[in-house]
Amino acid sequence: TLYSRIAGTGSYLPPRRVTNADLAAELATRGVETSDQWIIERTGIRSRHFAGPDVTSSDLAAPACRQAMDAAGCTAQDIDLIVFATSTPDMVFPSAACILQNKLGIAGCPAFDVQAVCSGFVYALTVADAMIRTGSARRALVVGAEVFSRILDFNDRTTCVLFGDGAGAVVLEASETPGILATDLHADGKHAGILCVPGNVSGNQVLGDAFLKMDGQAVFKLAVGVLEDAARATLAKAGRTDVDIDWLVPHQANIRIMQSTAKKLKLPLEKLIVTVDQHGNTSAASIPLALDTAVREGRIRKGDTLMLEGVGGGFTWGAVLVDF
Ligand code: ACO
């Protein structure tokens, strides 16, 4: 049997770091009131990075991918599949994956975007795993990158304090031994309205609202339940009855959602990888960014069992169990 395994990880953050205090001062000039204390208490976020106005998701993805390829000991020429998770692509089309492919100096291999908002990375990893296991690809770049700062309404304090920009990537390669042990994806479109950017491009203008809208409490309630279900379903598919993992690497939206999930799974909080304090919610980038950060800090090591979990707009959710 053919399996896929993660051969290397990488990430990239735009240089401009904005603390809660910086953001509060900036918002105050618009008459929007917030505070470091409110943001930390409700979300766990202390700072986030924002890309410059001309920087695109593929710009952030390219250095993350180069770092992942270095870690995997391969070059762009060895890549035969690119799957790019983003909700903030460079253009309506072509896909950010095609633009990234050209920036990496390669041509010919299939390249496409996956749009599942904050679940984008677990969706992309699941798709790439399936393509490798069926022999359609041998070495894939799976990347999540976002410039959510573009779609934030800085007059809406209930959303604009939550998100940041960034990118994370992995090289996923064919292997005789399993790396990815099980995957579990879901969506339920009836919840589309609780987290969305409702605008669309029509006749050289945006029709409707191009800013992110969220019912925070509805999202919170749904997220905790589905994340527990997805984790348990993935373990069951891998034939495991216990929640026996080394690290939970959840989508980094809110420390309270992550801690509730860990509690429901009866996992000690030391097994929870947390980067939301430094990155904010970077949507599809958050899981690979957290993974790479923990790998580079020497916390996640080869041989560890990881549970990657995402939840986001759609509503979409899912999990991937990994022997790293
Ligand atoms: N600064 C100061 N006060 C604020 C701010 C802010 N940035 N935002 C809201 N408030 C105020 C509200 O106006 C409200 O005031 P009021 O009581 O006078 O009306 C008060 O704070 C409480 O607001 P709530 O919305 O009840 O606060 P809550 O405790 O629910 O926290 C939050 C809001 C953080 C958004 C929470 O609901 C949450 O985390 N939800 C999940 C959101 C999330 O994680 N989304 C992303 C997941 S999916 C994805 O990643 C795309």
Please report where in the chains the tokens 């996956």 appear, as a residue: 114
Residues that are catalytic: 118, 251, 281
d(CA 152, ligand 1 centre) in Å? 15
**Residue 111 sits in the same domain as residue 16:** yes
Residues 46 and 171 placed together within one structural domain of the fold: yes
Taking alpha carbons only, the member of 144, 148, 145, 162 closest to residue 50 is 148
The verdict on 148 and 191 lying in the same domain is: no
User: How many angstroms separate the alpha carbon of residue 8 from the centre of ligand 1?
Assistant: 36
102 lines ligand 1 (CB under 6 A): no
- Is the beta carbon of 220 within 6 A of some atom in ligand 1? yes
What pLDDT does residue 241 have? 85
Q: Indicate whether 267 and 142 sit together in one domain.
A: no
CA distance 92 to 77: 27
In short, whether 260's Cβ falls inside 6 Å of ligand 1 is: no
Q: Which segments in the chain show pLDDT lower than 50?
A: none
Q: How many domains are there within the chain?
A: 2
**Listed residues 159, 175, 191: the one ending a domain:** 175
Residues 19 and 114 grouped into a single domain: yes
- Same domain for 141 and 83, yes or no, is yes
Query: Do residue 160 and residue 184 come from a single domain?
Result: no
Residue type at position 242: D
Q: What residue type is assigned to position 22 of the chain?
A: D
* Straight-line distance from the first to the last Cα atom of the chain, in angstroms, rounded to the nearest whole number: 18
Instruction: Write down which residue in 154, 175, 196 finishes a domain.
Output: 175
ipTM: 0.92
Tell me the best of 152, 196, 211, 219 to mutate to test the pocket of ligand 1, counting ligand atoms within 8 Å of each CB and taking the most: 219
The helix (run of H) or strand (run of E) holding residue 158 is helix 157-160
82 in the same domain as 58: yes
| In a shared domain, residues 163 and 196 | no
Q: Are residues 261 and 151 in the same domain?
A: no
CA distances from 17 to 161, 207, 213, 302 (A): 13, 32, 24, 30
- With a 6 Å cutoff on the Cβ, whether 253 touches ligand 1 is yes
Residues 195 and 171 occupy one common structural domain: no
Q: Tell me, in angstroms, the distance from the centre of ligand 1 to residue 253's CA.
A: 12
Please state the atom number of ligand 1 nearest to the C-alpha of residue 220.
41
Task: Give pLDDT tens digits for 228-271.
Answer: 999 999 999 999 988 899 999 999 999 999 999 999 999 999 99
Q: Which of 175, 190, 218 is a domain's end point?
A: 175
> Measured from the CB, is residue 38 less than 6 Å from ligand 1?
yes
Q: Domain with 293 in it: what CATH number?
A: 3.40.47.10
Comparing CA positions, the residue from 301, 310, 292, 287 lying closest to residue 11 is 292
The range of the structural domain enclosing residue 238 comes to 180-323
Domain match, 25 and 131 both = yes
